């Protein structure tokens, strides 16, 4: 389940979204994923998107009514009341294979000697992060054998001079490259 939530009174503060199945809480997620469309539409810093993975307790081949609200509030997310019916096994593998790898570089551009990286949807497969300079030389590399659902890592830039670097993140058959600007 994907979406976004933003508070105009706290434009750069991420909010927590709580999900319910038939009125019973099934989990929360912090809406802090960067989305360019939110930034373009002046929704704070653009870090207000979320992805909530369907928990196994509702993957029971029974119809459920799913809703979402801002945690500790009465604000229900628009369009959040949906009907959901998930099979417990075969359907799960199909859904998992459709999930797209997401990579966010926090604090980009940077003047620091390291970058913060958030990776989503890489669980169940080893993860490889490579930082490469404009000449193709590898600056830094990191392997994570069992990444979390939301994986946070820091990569060292060392004493690399100012300029453009490329962060390549690979998980299974998926690969994403992000541009990093060191000032």
Q: Which CATH class is domain 102-182?
A: mainly beta
Q: Do domains 2-86 and 102-182 have the same CATH topology?
A: yes
- 101-138 tens-digit pLDDT: 889 998 888 888 888 999 987 777 889 999 988 888 88
In this prediction, residue 97 carries a pLDDT of 44
In this prediction, residue 112 carries a pLDDT of 86
Token pair 């539409």 is found at 41
In this prediction, residue 99 carries a pLDDT of 61
In this prediction, residue 120 carries a pLDDT of 85
Q: Which fold has domain 2-86?
A: Immunoglobulin-like (2.60.40)
Look at strands 114-120 and 64-70 and give their pairing.
unpaired
Residues forming a β-bridge with 148:
none
**CA distance linking residue 84 with residue 62, whole number of Å:** 8
| Residues 112, 138 contacting (CB under 8 angstroms) | no
Q: Where are the domains of the chain?
A: 2-86, 102-182
In this prediction, residue 83 carries a pLDDT of 86
Name the stretches of the chain with pLDDT < 70: 89-99
Alpha helices in the chain (DSSP H): 36-40, 90-98
**CA distance linking residue 172 with residue 100, whole number of Å:** 11
Handedness of CA 135, 136, 142, 144 (dihedral sign): positive
């Amino acid at each position: 389940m994907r979406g976004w939530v933003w508070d105009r009174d706290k434009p750069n503060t991420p909010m927590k979204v709580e999900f319910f199945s038939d009125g019973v809480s099934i989990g929360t997620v912090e809406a802090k994923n960067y989305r360019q469309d939110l930034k373009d539409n002046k929704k704070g810093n653009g870090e207000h998107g979320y992805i909530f993975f369907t928990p196994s307790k509702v993957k029971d081949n029974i119809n459920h009514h799913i809703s979402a609200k801002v945690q500790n509030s009465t604000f229900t997310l628009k369009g959040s009341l949906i009907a959901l019916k998930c099979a417990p096994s075969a359907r799960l593998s199909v859904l998992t294979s459709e999930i797209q790898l997401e990579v966010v570089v926090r604090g980009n551009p940077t003047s620091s000697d390291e970058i913060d990286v958030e990776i989503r949807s890489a669980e169940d497969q080893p993860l490889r992060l490579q930082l490469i300079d404009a000449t193709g030389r590898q600056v830094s590399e990191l392997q994570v054998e069992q990444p979390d659902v939301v994986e946070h890592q820091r990569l060292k830039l060392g004493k690399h001079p100012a300029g453009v670097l490329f962060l390549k993140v690979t998980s299974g058959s998926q690969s994403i490259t992000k541009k990093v600007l060191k000032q």
